[in-house]
Amino acid sequence: MSKSALPAPETLLPLPPATFHILIALAAGDRHGYAIIQEVATRTDNQIRLGAGTLYRSLQRMLEQGLIIETDNRPAAAQDDERRRYYRITHYGETVARAEARRLTQLVRLARASGLAKETA
Residues of this chain that bind another protein (CB under 8 A): 32-34, 37, 49, 51-57, 60-61, 81, 83-85
Residue 108 backbone phi and psi in degrees, to 5: -65, -40
Which C-beta is closer to another protein: that of 57 or that of 112? 57
> Shortest Cβ distance from residue 31 to another protein (Å)?
12
- Cα distance between residue 86 and residue 75, in whole Å: 10
Pick the closer one to another protein by CB: 63 or 101.
63
Q: How far apart are CA 72 and CA 86, in angstroms?
A: 7
CB of 112 to another protein, least distance (A): 34
The nearer residue to another protein, 20 or 86, going by C-beta atoms, is: 86
